[in-house]
Structure 1
Amino acid sequence: MGDHSHGSPNTSGTVATAGQGEEGEFQNPGLPPHRPRLADTDPRAEKRSEKQVAILFAISVLGTLLFFYGYFFIRLDESIGTLRVQNLFLGLGTAFAMLGIGVGIVHWAKTLMPDHEVIEERHEIRPEEDRVIAEKMIGDIIEETGIKRRPLIRNTLLGAVALAPLPAIVMFRDLGPLPGNVLRHTMWDNGVRLTRDPSGTPIKASDVTLGSAFHVIPEGLNDAEHKLEEKAKAVVLLMRLDPSELNPSPGREDWSVDGIVAYSKICTHVGCPVALYEQHTHHLLCPCHQSTFDLTQECAVIFGPAVRPLPQLPIAVDDEGYLIATSDFTEPVGPSYWERG
């Protein structure tokens, strides 16, 4: 040992500095030794794992079929119990369909696919060899999965993958009617009276006072075969302003009656009911996402995520003084992705 009584940290030997102890540099230990799995050494274990994977994929297929049974064969009635049973079948079916595929693939990878750790050195790829190299890589991947020599796994996987997306497609289809004839028109037409919601009482122009607002449905809606579906498209808000405050665009001068205007109640964002009317500002508000429409500017959007105005219903007064529609809406009601031909 030397005399370190007057040594600094850099000379006393208490602090390692660059260049010291190079003989003790960290050595690359390499890859750890490979430990074979039971399925790698025992053919019976390999066959058992293959069957387990196939069973999991089959469970996925059965889950999809369970979903379809609940969706198509359990008929809903007035009983809440039937609805609960259907929801149970739909939920369990979807869960087994997704879980079977997910767990099956994980079990397949952990027990049957190669688990050797490998290092692939970076190398320069010549452009003319790209296709050949890519084909070889794909071939190696397919070979490593063992799917060619395990037809049981292959067939059950194909069946599970083919059926699993179908419940999602069916559920998306059931979210609402597709754009088509069912959405092209509402019950409004020339001569159809405006009536109060929900009583169905016709409304006279003299009933609508300045600053008032009515929730309106077309006459005959309460007796319609598909009442809820028709109401979802045809509900209207009826309000009266000072005629001098309205700013109709060319061609819409006769769509109102002495300051009385009617607009679709369905928000053009995602279809929520617009139900709040601010009399002093003449604003209509959607409570779902705060879209705000200016009644004096043909319900133009002044705030919120909606991108187009509320459709206006052209109205007039009949010989008895009742408010009537002069036509259906001339543009689509509801969210902006709905289109008419």
Structure 2
Amino acid sequence: MSDQSNLPASGDGAGHSRVPEPLEDQDVAPGLPAHVWRPTDVDPKAEKRAERQVAALFIFSMVCAVLFVVAYFSFEIGREIDTFLGFGASNLFLGLTLGLGMLAIGVGVIQWARKLMSDVEIAELRHPAASSEEDRETTLKALTAGLDESGIGRRPLIRNTLLGALAFAGVPLVVALRDLGPRNMSASRLEKTFWMEGMYIVRDVLGTRINRADLEIGDLLNGEPEGLVPNSEGHLPAPIGPNGQELRPALDHEQLLIEKVKSAVIVLRMSPGDIVRNPDRENWDVDGIVCYSKICTHVGCPIALNEQQTHHLLCPCHQSTFDLADSGKVVFGPAGHSLPQMHLAADDEGYLYAMGDFDEPVGPSYWERG
């Protein structure tokens, strides 16, 4: 669009602007080159061919959405047979189908605009940006003119395939909502974790138990309950308590992933004199070793950024900061709830274990139930 102040006025003589009109061939517009018609403007066959190309792109997007759903239910994560060119078939095909579907919509819209929408030069006088009734009417007329120029009313094939592509684009998103959690998730499953009295803490990668003698002041480790981390042989051991009793049976793959997320903890050792001894948590540490949930109480990000001198733990997502020396209280940021703390104990050999589950729900504060 050309905004020319020295073109013939397009108004009603009272300074009110009207809807700008396309320049005719005989109009003189200083600075504008002569208009070059596109093939689709002068050749009906080229126009129809371009219309079919755009519609084909939108249809291809719909096909990709359907293939996304097929791939989602066909491939399983973690199975060796579900691989393709060395990559996990699930992630590979989900990414390809979703990406190609979105790309097809974008390319189709661009082709539609470049080849089929109205292609004329429009000149409009500069005018004050007043919100008068006349200007509002002018804007509405301009929007109507733009819709007319897009040809969406005259091209039902493009219109219908575009609407279909946009509708199908939402199908992968709806299907992927299943990954937010099991359909039978309940409040009780959110409030309770895998932890129970007598369950040992193990390193989250090696699966070895943590001994009090292994930690120096300032050390911070990521931990999990025993039974959620494979041992050196690759098996999930059934957790055994300090008295040799079996606490829980081994879990299947789906249960394992859910419980590992909820039960992750951090273990930190500080000087016992730095700990604020709250009346209800006087004996929750072992020689200055404290244990807290690893899940931020703001929106659930994993946290492990420790400031050794202040014993402050920082969440990298939104900078919520918790004081691990004072029952995990929030000292900065948007989190509205203290970090859940675990009551620790040690057996005769010095290995750390839990005295029970957390006494409050882990994760974002909105998980709490009355």
Same fold (TM over 0.5): yes
- Closer/same/farther in 2, CA of residues 103 and 277 from structure 1, 3 Å limit: closer
**Which segments of 5 or more consecutive residues in structure 1 lack a partner in the other structure?**
1-26
**AA aligned opposite 1:340:** E
Taking the aligned partners of 2:354 and 2:144, their CA distance within structure 1 comes to 71
What is residue 154 of structure 2 aligned with on the other side?
149
Contact 1:246 1:296 in 2 (8 A): yes
Taking the aligned partners of 2:287 and 2:193, their CA distance within structure 1 comes to 25
Contact 1:192 1:324 in 2 (8 A): yes
Is residue 297 from structure 1 mapped to residue 326 from structure 2 by the alignment? yes
Contact 2:295 2:362 in 1 (8 A): no
- Closer/same/farther in 2, CA of residues 96 and 196 from structure 1, 3 Å limit: closer
The structural deviation recorded for 1:254 is 4.9
Is residue 234 from structure 1 mapped to residue 234 from structure 2 by the alignment? no
* Paired-residue identity, %: 41
Taking the aligned partners of 1:259 and 1:89, their CA distance within structure 2 comes to 49
Taking the aligned partners of 1:237 and 1:109, their CA distance within structure 2 comes to 55
**AA aligned opposite 1:261:** V
The structural deviation recorded for 1:97 is 0.9
**AA aligned opposite 1:138:** L
**AA aligned opposite 1:224:** L
Taking the aligned partners of 2:186 and 2:126, their CA distance within structure 1 comes to 56
**AA aligned opposite 1:135:** L
Query: Which deviates more, 37-46 or 231-240?
Result: 231-240
Contact 2:284 2:345 in 1 (8 A): yes
Is residue 75 from structure 1 mapped to residue 76 from structure 2 by the alignment? yes
**AA aligned opposite 1:330:** E
Contact 1:314 1:329 in 2 (8 A): no
What is residue 368 of structure 2 aligned with on the other side?
340
TM-score for both structures, normalised by structure 1: 0.69
Residue 199 of structure 2, aligned match among 188, 193, 202: 193
**Which segments of 5 or more consecutive residues in structure 2 lack a partner in the other structure?**
1-27, 229-235, 237-249
Taking the aligned partners of 1:87 and 1:201, their CA distance within structure 2 comes to 31
Contact 2:224 2:260 in 1 (8 A): yes
The structural deviation recorded for 1:313 is 1.4
**AA aligned opposite 2:200:** L
The structural deviation recorded for 1:238 is 4.3
What is residue 110 of structure 1 aligned with on the other side?
114
Is residue 224 from structure 1 mapped to residue 251 from structure 2 by the alignment? yes
TM-score for both structures, normalised by structure 2: 0.65
What is the total number of aligned residue pairs between the two structures?
A: 308
Contact 1:194 1:218 in 2 (8 A): yes
The structural deviation recorded for 1:315 is 4.3
Query: Which deviates more, 255-264 or 195-204?
Result: 195-204
Is residue 57 from structure 1 mapped to residue 58 from structure 2 by the alignment? yes
Larger Cα Rg: Structure 1 or Structure 2? 1
- 1:89-121 Cα offsets, whole Å, 9 max, x none, are 223212321221111111111211111011122
SS for the counterpart of 1:50 is: helix
Residue 292 of structure 2, aligned match among 255, 263, 284: 263
RMSD: 4.4
Residue 136 of structure 1, aligned match among 130, 134, 141: 141
Query: Which deviates more, 138-147 or 321-330?
Result: 321-330
- 1:298-331 Cα offsets, whole Å, 9 max, x none, are 345779998875421134689xx98542442414
Taking the aligned partners of 2:151 and 2:286, their CA distance within structure 1 comes to 76
- Closer/same/farther in 2, CA of residues 326 and 138 from structure 1, 3 Å limit: same
Taking the aligned partners of 2:156 and 2:72, their CA distance within structure 1 comes to 32
Taking the aligned partners of 1:89 and 1:267, their CA distance within structure 2 comes to 33
Contact 1:54 1:157 in 2 (8 A): yes
What is residue 274 of structure 1 aligned with on the other side?
304
SS for the counterpart of 1:118 is: coil
**AA aligned opposite 2:274:** E
Contact 1:267 1:274 in 2 (8 A): no
